[in-house]
Amino acid sequence: MADDVFADAEAWGFETRAIRAGQPHDPTSGAVVTPISLATTFVQEDVGVHRGYEYSRTGNPTRTALQECLASLEGAAHGLAFGSGMAAEDTLLRTLAPGDHIILGNDAYGGTFRLISAVLAPMGIEWSAADLTDPAALATEMRPNTKVVWAETPTNPLLTVIDLEAIAEVAHSGDAMFVVDNTFATPYLQQPLSLGADAVIHSTTKYCGGHSDVVGGFVALNDDALAERLAYLQNAIGAIGSPFDNYLTLRGLKTLAVRMDRHCESAEAVVEFLQSRNEVIEVRYPGLPDHPGHEAAARQMKKFGGMVSFRVAGGKDAAMRLAVSTQVFSLAESLGAVESLIEHPGAMTHASAAGSPLEVPDDLIRLSVGIESLPDLLGDLAAAFDRL
């Protein structure tokens, strides 16, 4: 990374780094696009003497390109690319030992809750949930064995905003690593490491990849020893994506900034539309001045994101009917890609959180606002409401 001039955030803008960092022209052909390096193994000139690669699980040139690019975008010294967001989370949490305690924000992706509560807890990891909008509430939840405070902001699916600097301070008053899942904001809108986070997690399946065609995950961090430990664990576990996956994610990053600008702009128009409808009882979007986290969002985010959640009058039944009534918004899990998606978190992405402190309201609908023609998006929602 040392000789990669384009990784330098002081010297180059975000969009330039997205297109150039970690992606030198191919030295053999001059190709301007990073090759997909399919080799599983790499020749050694003598035993243990090689050009930096031995075996593709341990390291792969296409993965290296992605890692250097996304690390640069997050302002991180190190980045590791994984086979999924969950693989990234699992590998990071395997740095813990039985008896360690995790504090999870009380609004988070259902899969993160499931990993901690149903996979790690039976192996001796303690956990509890806290309201991370309130640093004092976190302070009372901190224990001597708390090793991780895990936050999303904006959260999935309620779009709650966490004041990163305030929560980092409480986490660091104890012995905890502060992990921020930056999937919803992306590094274009928010860079948590600069606000006190120790590690940033991504499901690159979402905005980073951006086209609903590749599953991936990422950890960005500055600590050398932790990065070395994660590389060890990643290799030991095998939690990697394929070179083609890495290539697709890298390709997605090149257009992240322009896509995010459009996602944010269209989301704002969708919010305004939803506020005009009687069928909507609450719109949750960090850009709204009356959103409780608006001030923190305005401070720590460049714009307010492409995700919009709202509650439907008429309860679960009406929400479920609305979710199947759109045409341009496709009923599907996932988010952050060019096409617009609609889902019912209570029955879909967050079903595993039912009956827990992370349970979501059953009249909640989540929209991932895509980059299609805005009149088509607004017309689609209007027609769906009219059909209710």
- Which residues are identified as catalytic? 57, 109, 181, 206
Distance from C-alpha of 251 to C-alpha of 255, rounded to nearest angstrom: 8
Is residue 156 involved in binding ligand P1T (CB under 6 A)? yes
How many chain residues are in contact with ligand P1T, going by CB under 6 A? Answer: 18
**Under rule CB under 6 A, which residues in 210-249 are in contact with ligand P1T?**
215, 217
Q: Which stretch binds ligand P1T (CB under 6 A): 22-30, 61-69, 109-117, 138-146?
A: 109-117
Distance from C-alpha of 62 to C-alpha of 198, rounded to nearest angstrom: 26
Is residue 152 involved in binding ligand P1T (CB under 6 A)? yes
* HEC letters along 27-77: CCCCCCCCCCCCCCECCCCECCECCCCCECCCCCHHHHHHHHHHHHHCCCC
Is residue 346 involved in binding ligand P1T (CB under 6 A)? no
Residue with Cβ nearer ligand P1T (156 or 326)? 156
**Token pair belonging to 179:** 């992990």
Is residue 116 involved in binding ligand P1T (CB under 6 A)? no
Residue with Cβ nearer ligand P1T (114 or 303)? 114
Residue with Cβ nearer ligand P1T (85 or 286)? 85
Distance from C-alpha of 251 to C-alpha of 191, rounded to nearest angstrom: 20
Q: Which stretch binds ligand P1T (CB under 6 A): 7-15, 108-116, 286-294, 312-320?
A: 108-116
Residue with Cβ nearer ligand P1T (142 or 177)? 177
Residue with Cβ nearer ligand P1T (142 or 253)? 253
Residue with Cβ nearer ligand P1T (194 or 334)? 334
Q: How far is the CB of 269 from ligand P1T (least distance, A)?
A: 22
Which 3 state secondary structure label does DSSP give 340?
coil
Which residue in 22, 61, 105, 111 binds ligand P1T (CB under 6 A)? 111
Q: Which stretch binds ligand P1T (CB under 6 A): 286-294, 295-303, 313-321, 332-340?
A: 332-340
Q: How far is the CB of 88 from ligand P1T (least distance, A)?
A: 8
Distance from C-alpha of 121 to C-alpha of 79, rounded to nearest angstrom: 27
Distance from C-alpha of 1 to C-alpha of 174, rounded to nearest angstrom: 33
Give the Cα-Cα-Cα angle 161, 166, 168 (nearest 5 degrees). Answer: 100
* Sequence-ordered alpha helix ranges (H) in the chain: 14-20, 61-73, 85-93, 110-114, 135-141, 164-173, 186-189, 224-237, 243-254, 256-275, 294-300, 315-323, 374-387
Distance from C-alpha of 139 to C-alpha of 40, rounded to nearest angstrom: 48
Q: How far is the CB of 154 from ligand P1T (least distance, A)?
A: 9
Distance from C-alpha of 146 to C-alpha of 127, rounded to nearest angstrom: 9
* Enclosing H/E stretch for 101: strand 101-105
Which residue in 37, 62, 64, 84 binds ligand P1T (CB under 6 A)? 84
Q: Identify the residue whose tokens are 């095998």.
A: 238
Which residue in 71, 335, 364, 365 binds ligand P1T (CB under 6 A)? 335
**Under rule CB under 6 A, which residues in 175-214 are in contact with ligand P1T?**
181, 183, 203, 205
Q: Within 13 A of 112's CA, how many CA atoms are on the CB side?
A: 33
Which residue in 333, 373, 386, 387 binds ligand P1T (CB under 6 A)? 333
Q: Which stretch binds ligand P1T (CB under 6 A): 79-87, 131-139, 219-227, 277-285?
A: 79-87
Q: How far is the CB of 350 from ligand P1T (least distance, A)?
A: 8
Residue with Cβ nearer ligand P1T (160 or 183)? 183
- Cis bond leading into 157, ω under 30°? yes
CB 88 within 8 A of CB 230: no
List beta partners, residue 79: 220
Residue with Cβ nearer ligand P1T (21 or 86)? 86
Distance from C-alpha of 168 to C-alpha of 166, rounded to nearest angstrom: 6
Q: Which stretch binds ligand P1T (CB under 6 A): 14-22, 302-310, 314-322, 328-336?
A: 328-336
Q: How far is the CB of 162 from ligand P1T (least distance, A)?
A: 13
Q: How far is the CB of 32 from ligand P1T (least distance, A)?
A: 29
Rounded to 5 degrees, φ, ψ at 328 are -80, -45
Residues contributing to the site for ligand P1T (CB under 6 A): 84-86, 109, 111-112, 152, 156, 181, 183, 203, 205, 215, 217, 333-335, 349
